[in-house]
C-alpha cells in the first residue's frame, strides 16, 4: 500500500503537478524551502602552561591546567579559571620557582612578580617585587579590576594588597628554600661584594653548580609559571607569576610582570607568555612579538621559534654564549591563537603542559637548538 502524504507534502505535490515536477521530487522541494541556518563552529578549548602547570597539585587531586580547563569549560571566566590554576602552584611549597617557598633573592627575601591580561575586557594588571603574599597573581588581578593602573611595585604593591584584604606574612621562605639559599651563600665567594663583576659571575657559577649537583632543577633557576587559555567562544586570557631569578639582586624585576614581555594577550588573535631568562626576553618584548606574528598568520610554533631566533641573534655577550656561540641559557614560550592552535617552543629541549578535552599532558617543545650547552 502506498504511503500517505502528510499535509505539507500534499501541498508540495500539488504545486509540483501544476509546474510539471514529478511527485517523487516533493521531498527535495520541501527540504529546499526550509530556511538554512548558519551555524558557527566554536573553538576547541585549550589551556597551555609551563611544565610545572601539570606537575604540582599542592596536596590536591588536580594540576593547574586541569583545574583551569575544568572551570573554563564549566562556564567560568577564562582569567578566573587560569588564576585559580596557577594558585595551586603558587601555594605549593614543593615548587621553588613560584609563590610560597620560591627561591629568594641574594638577601634571602622572597620577592614575587605577576601579571594578567583579560582579552575580552582589554584590561591588564601586574605587581612586581611584592613581599609577604603567597598569591601575587590574585593581587595583579585586583590591580586590573580595581585601579586605573597596570603595574604596582614593592611596598606600594604590598600596601595595596593589604588594603584589599590579603594576609601579609613576614617571610615566605620554607625550610627548603632557606636551606638552598644558605647553600648558595656557602658556595659564593665571601669577598664577592668587593668586585661587582666577580660577584655576578661567582653568584651565577654557584647557582649553576647547585643545578649540576641536582639541588635545583635547571628550569627552576629562572623559574616561573605562565598559563594561557581560550574557551569555546574564542575568549583569550593569560597569567604569569614567579619568584624570579634565584638569588637575584634585591629589587630586580624580570620579564614576568611586564606586559609584552612575560605575557601578552589580544583577544581573537592570541596569547603568549614565557619562562626562562627574563632579561633576554625583555630586550625584545618577545611575547608581544609572538602575538603580532600570529596576527600576520604565523602558527604559534613558527612565531615562537622566530622570537627565539631573535633572542639568539641579540645575545652577543661572551658570558652568555657557549663554545659554539649559542646562548647558554633557556627561554621557553607558550602560545595559542584564536583558532585554538597552540605550541610550546624553547631554546633547548624541555616539556610544556597542555589540557584539552583529552585531559592534561606534558608535551615536548619545538626547539631552536637540539641539545643543551655542553651536551652532544
> Model confidence over 112-147: pLDDT tens digits?
999 999 999 999 999 999 999 999 999 999 999 999
The proportion of the chain whose per-residue pLDDT surpasses 90, expressed as a percent, equals 73
Question: Which candidate in 224, 241, 315, 365 is catalytic?
Answer: 224
Q: Is 224 designated active site? A: yes
Q: What is the mean pLDDT of the chain?
A: 86
> Does position 273 have pLDDT exceeding 80, yes or no?
yes
Say whether pLDDT at 363 is over 50: yes
pLDDT the model gives residue 262: 97
**CA-based max dimension of the chain:** 106
Cα of 308 vs its chain's centroid, Å: 16
Residue 199 has pLDDT above 80, yes or no: no
In the 8-state DSSP scheme, what is residue 247? T
Instruction: Report the pLDDT value the prediction gives residue 42, as an integer from 0 to 100.
Output: 86
What own/partner pairs with CB < 8 Å and gap ≥ 24 does 219-222 have?
Answer: 219/50, 219/51, 219/52, 219/97, 219/275, 219/330, 219/350, 220/95, 220/96, 220/97, 220/103, 220/246, 221/103, 221/245, 221/246, 222/246, 222/275, 222/276, 222/277, 222/278, 222/329, 222/330
Integer Cα distance of 156 and 53 in angstroms: 29
Mean pLDDT value of segment 264-282: 97
Q: Where would I find the H helices in the chain? A: 7-19, 26-33, 64-73, 78-91, 136-146, 154-163, 175-187, 196-212, 218-221, 278-284, 286-295, 300-314
For 160, the 3-state DSSP assignment is helix
Residues in the chain: 376
Cell of 147: 585601579
Dist. CA 236–CA 143, nearest whole Å: 19
Give 333's contacts (C-beta < 8 A, 6+ positions apart). Answer: 272, 273, 274, 286, 287, 290, 304, 307, 308, 344, 345, 346
Phi, psi dihedrals of residue 318, rounded to the nearest 5°: -60, -35
Q: What is the pLDDT of residues 294-345, one digit of tens each?
A: 999 999 999 999 999 999 999 999 989 998 899 999 999 999 999 999 999 9
Q: What are phi and psi of 9, to 5 degrees?
A: -70, -35
Determine the average pLDDT of the residues in 172-190. 84
The predicted pLDDT at position 372 comes to: 82
Amino acid at each position: 500500500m502506498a504511503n500517505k502524504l502528510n499535509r505539507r507534502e500534499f501541498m508540495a505535490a500539488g504545486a509540483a503537478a501544476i509546474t510539471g515536477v514529478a511527485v517523487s521530487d516533493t521531498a527535495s522541494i520541501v527540504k529546499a524551502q526550509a530556511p538554512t541556518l548558519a551555524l558557527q563552529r566554536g573553538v576547541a578549548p585549550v589551556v597551555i602552561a609551563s611544565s610545572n602547570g601539570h606537575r604540582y597539585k599542592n596536596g590536591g587531586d588536580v594540576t593547574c591546567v586541569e583545574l583551569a580547563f575544568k572551570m573554563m569549560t564549566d562556564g567560568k571566566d577564562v582569567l578566573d579559571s587560569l588564576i585559580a590554576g596557577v594558585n595551586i602552584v603558587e601555594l605549593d611549597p614543593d615548587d621553588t620557582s613560584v609563590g610560597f617557598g620560591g627561591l629568594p633573592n641574594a638577601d634571602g627575601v622572597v620577592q614575587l612578580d605577576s601579571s594578567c591580561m583579560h582579552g575580552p575586557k582589554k584590561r591588564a594588571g601586574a605587581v612586581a617585587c611584592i613581599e609577604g603574599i603567597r598569591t601575587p597573581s590574585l593581587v595583579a588581578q585586583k590591580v586590573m579590576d580595581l585601579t586605573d593602573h597596570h603595574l604596582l611595585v614593592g611596598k606600594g604593591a604590598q600596601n595595596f594588597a593589604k588594603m584589599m584584604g590579603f594576609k601579609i606574612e613576614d617571610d615566605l621562605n620554607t625550610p627548603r628554600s632557606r636551606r638552598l639559599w644558605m647553600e648558595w651563600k656557602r658556595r659564593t665567594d665571601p669577598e664577592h661584594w668587593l668586585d661587582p663583576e666577580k660577584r655576578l659571575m661567582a653568584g651565577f657559577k654557584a647557582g649553576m653548580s647547585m643545578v649540576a649537583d641536582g639541588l635545583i632543577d635547571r628550569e627552576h633557576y629562572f623559574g616561573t609559571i605562565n598559563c594561557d587559555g581560550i574557551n569555546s567562544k574564542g575568549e583569550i586570557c593569560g597569567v604569569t607569576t614567579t619568584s624570579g631569578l634565584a638569588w637575584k639582586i634585591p629589587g630586580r624585576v624580570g620579564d614576568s610582570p611586564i606586559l609584552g614581555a612575560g605575557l601578552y594577550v589580544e583577544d581573537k588573535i592570541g596569547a603568549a607568555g614565557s619562562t626562562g631568562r627574563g632579561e633576554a626576553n625583555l630586550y625584545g618584548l618577545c611575547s608581544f612579538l609572538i602575538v603580532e606574528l600570529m596576527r600576520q598568520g604565523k602558527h604559534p610554533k613558527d612565531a615562537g621559534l622566530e622570537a627565539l631566533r631573535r633572542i639568539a641573534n641579540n645575545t652577543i655577550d661572551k658570558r652568555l654564549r657557549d663554545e659554539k656561540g649559542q646562548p647558554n641559557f633557556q627561554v621557553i614560550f607558550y602560545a595559542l591563537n584564536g583558532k585554538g592552535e597552540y605550541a610550546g617552543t624553547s631554546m633547548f629541549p624541555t616539556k610544556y603542559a597542555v589540557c584539552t578535552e583529552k585531559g592534561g599532558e606534558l608535551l615536548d617543545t619545538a626547539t631552536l637548538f637540539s641539545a643543551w650547552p655542553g651536551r652532544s
